Structure 1
Amino acid sequence: MQKDKPDNVVFSNEEGYNASLLPYATNVGAPVIKADDVAGWKNTGINKVNREFESKFNELKIQYQNLIKEFQWNELVYNARFSFEPIVGEIYHLYKDTDGFDFLSLIGPNEWNKEHVGTFRLNSDKKWIRID
């Protein structure tokens, strides 16, 4: 059984001679088709994205830790003893009493001899902000 056309000629019964329409090389003299090596590009992209995710994760972690600290300070102040209604924007001082309980006062730490825990300001959201 003999072929009508040689191997180096592109011919199909449906399309005919269509070598110029094909997206790939059709004869020995055509340029070599090489697949692009995208592994380097992928690795660079992966490393860049991973650094960005790590940076964002670290930012969120720091924000979370700061939020926990704020919560703990607010819990400490709100659980302290005080017999007055704090005014928004005023500065108050938190002390530890001789019996071990915390109490809130207007008196500054340099005005008497009590164990000073912290100085706070009440903001408009009723959140205690530590200022020292």
Structure 2
Amino acid sequence: MVQAYNFLASWQLFPEKCVYESGIVPKSGNYKIESILNGKSLQISINWITVENEAYYAQFSVVPDGSQQPCEYQELADTVTAVIPDTSTLIHTFYKNEAQVLSVQHRILSNGFLELVYEGITTNGAAFVNKEVYHKQMSVLPYASSVGSVVIQPTKQGMIKHKALTAMEEQTNMQLEQIKQQIELLARQAQEIRKRRELSLMIYDAQINFKPQIRQVYYLYEKKDGNYLLSLVAPKEWAGSGPFKQFLASVQLLTDHTWVEVA
């Protein structure tokens, strides 16, 4: 099946490049084309999520020899044909009661994208044309595609995947939020440690005429010569402005021998 080679890939939907006149509108999608049965058939796997966050999944296989084959989705069609007229075109045609109800033309564009054009008839008898554009994926994503014109109901497999992914997203978002809060807490703790370290270095460089006691409040002053002094005397206890250049902070010695500013 040499002519099918260009189509064999997993294709990721470009929602912003799509136009829908009818059917389900996806917000993300994956359209996978594989060769099976020793290259005799093509298997199409379609996964997508709608704008309402509903998960859909469909899979069918066709022999691209132009013959009519049973359609695996009887609610859509009785039979389907597939043909590859050239290396850049693949056409699926769906029939219901021997009448054509949908044609899906796959075309490889000059930029390497895959364009799907759906021409069909709605249940009300109105004609419609939907267009989708995909880019080739390097790897297969587990979710999303389209086929906005094909009326396929949510499958059990699709809903299970959707519920699992929703639960996974909720759990990972919760875990990421917890980690974020832990990081913010660690950042605040690191900032407090840096402040205590800077204050402690200042105090241990100051003049201290007594042995400080744990949890006792002391008073740090800058002297007129620019040096520091740790004192037992509070600013309000000095007569006037006191014999110092300025009062810096009320401080307390902690059990780890660092100092912290207190109100």
Q: TM-score, normalised on structure 2?
A: 0.35
Equivalent residue runs for 1:19-38 within 5 Å: 34=157, 36-37=160-161, 38=164
For 1:34, the aligned partner's letter is Q
Equivalent residue runs for 1:1-132 within 5 Å: 34=157, 36-37=160-161, 38-112=164-238, 113=241, 114=244, 115-132=246-263
TM-superposition CA deviations, 1:25-49 (whole Å, max 9, x none): xxx9xxx863521322222222111
Q: Any stretches of 5+ residues in structure 2 without a counterpart?
A: 1-71, 73-154
Q: 3-state SS of the aligned residue for 1:110?
A: helix
Structure with the largest fraction of strand: 2
CA contact (8 A) 2:215 2:254 kept: yes
Gap change, CA 1:54 and 1:123, over 3 Å in 2:
closer
**Cα distance in 2, alignment partners of residues 124 and 57 from structure 1:** 26
Displacement of 1:103 after TM fit? Answer: 1.0
**Cα distance in 2, alignment partners of residues 70 and 110 from structure 1:** 25
Gap change, CA 1:65 and 1:108, over 3 Å in 2:
same
Question: In terms of Rg, which structure is larger?
Answer: 1
**Cα distance in 2, alignment partners of residues 107 and 101 from structure 1:** 17
**Cα distance in 2, alignment partners of residues 99 and 67 from structure 1:** 29
Q: TM-score, normalised on structure 1?
A: 0.64
**Cα distance in 1, alignment partners of residues 209 and 188 from structure 2:** 35
Q: 3-state SS of the aligned residue for 1:61?
A: helix
Compare 82-91 and 68-77 and name the one that shifted more: 82-91
Q: Any stretches of 5+ residues in structure 1 without a counterpart?
A: 1-27
CA contact (8 A) 2:214 2:255 kept: yes
**Sequence identity (%):** 23
Alignment length (residue pairs): 102
Structure with the largest fraction of helix: 1
Displacement of 1:85 after TM fit? Answer: 2.6
Alignment root-mean-square deviation, CA:
2.3
TM-superposition CA deviations, 1:76-111 (whole Å, max 9, x none): 111111233334443321101111111111221113
For 1:73, the aligned partner's letter is L
